[in-house]
Each structure stands twice: as structure tokens, then as C-alpha cells.
């Protein structure tokens, strides 16, 4: 049987969680990561991406490209909580999956075409 595997990557997951916790962040450039110049961008909103900011970029460069952004160190306990919630939803809907990181899953959709 041929396998159909879906890679589910929750885009800007940390920013999404921050916006759930603080609705005033919606629509604004938000950057999550190490807040010192030696830190790196863990996630950024689409509003920050419009200025050229991207994940894994040095925070120093992000501050140059988007000084008006809201910089957040991150609430990793909250990210873990929401990641578990997403994983629980996936576990209820598909028979086989693998969680590869806090915001990524591989889902085996083989044989599920009659459900979708």
C-alpha cells in the first residue's frame, strides 16, 4: 500500500500563542525569541516578515529591519500547553501520527480518503 504522509507545520506558532494570550498583539509586527542582540528570532508575525524578518535570523538584524516590532522573550510553558492541545486534536482525528517538534507533526493519511 502506498503511504500518504502530511507534514503539518504550525506557521508562526509562538506568535499565534502570544496573540491568544494578548489580543492587543493582533495585526502588529511581533517577534518572539532571545531579546539580546546575541539572540535569534524563534518566530515572527507576517507583519514583521513584510520587513524582511524571518526565523533563525539574529535578533540584532531583526531590530534593524523592524525596530517598531513588539519583541517578546516567549512563554515556553504556554507554547508547550497549546502544543499539547493541538496534538490531542490530531490524536482524536487520525490513527497514526508523529510529533516531531513543538509545532510540527507528520500525519499518516493513508487509507483515510473516504473520511476527507
Q: May I ask the CATH architecture of the domain 5-108?
A: 3-Layer(aba) Sandwich (3.40)
The confidence score (pLDDT) of residue 84 equals 97
Q: Which segments of the chain does DSSP mark as H helices, in order? A: 13-21, 46-49, 59-65, 76-93
- Share above pLDDT 70 across residues of the chain, in percent, rounded to a whole number: 96
Is the per-residue pLDDT at 51 higher than 70?
yes
Is 92 marked active-site?
no
| Domain residue ranges of the chain, discontinuous segments joined by + | 5-108
Give tens-digit pLDDT for 2-36.
Answer: 888 999 999 899 999 999 999 999 999 999 999 88
Catalytic residue among 2, 47, 98, 104: 104
Give tens-digit pLDDT for 70-90.
Answer: 999 989 999 999 999 999 999
Is the per-residue pLDDT at 65 higher than 60?
yes
**Strands 97-101, 104-108: pairing kind:** antiparallel
The confidence score (pLDDT) of residue 115 equals 64
Amino acid at each position: 500500500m502506498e503511504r500518504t504522509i502530511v507534514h503539518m507545520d504550525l506557521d508562526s506558532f509562538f506568535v499565534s500563542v502570544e496573540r491568544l494570550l494578548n489580543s492587543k498583539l493582533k495585526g502588529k509586527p511581533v517577534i518572539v525569541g532571545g531579546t539580546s542582540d546575541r539572540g535569534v528570532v524563534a518566530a515572527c508575525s507576517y507583519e514583521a516578515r513584510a520587513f524582511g524578518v524571518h526565523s533563525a535570523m539574529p535578533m540584532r538584524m531583526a531590530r534593524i529591519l523592524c525596530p517598531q516590532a513588539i519583541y517578546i522573550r516567549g512563554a515556553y510553558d504556554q507554547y508547550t500547553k497549546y502544543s499539547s492541545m493541538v496534538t490531542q486534536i490530531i490524536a482524536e482525528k487520525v490513527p497514526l501520527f508523529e510529533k516531531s517538534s513543538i509545532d510540527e507533526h507528520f500525519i499518516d493519511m493513508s487509507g483515510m480518503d473516504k473520511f476527507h
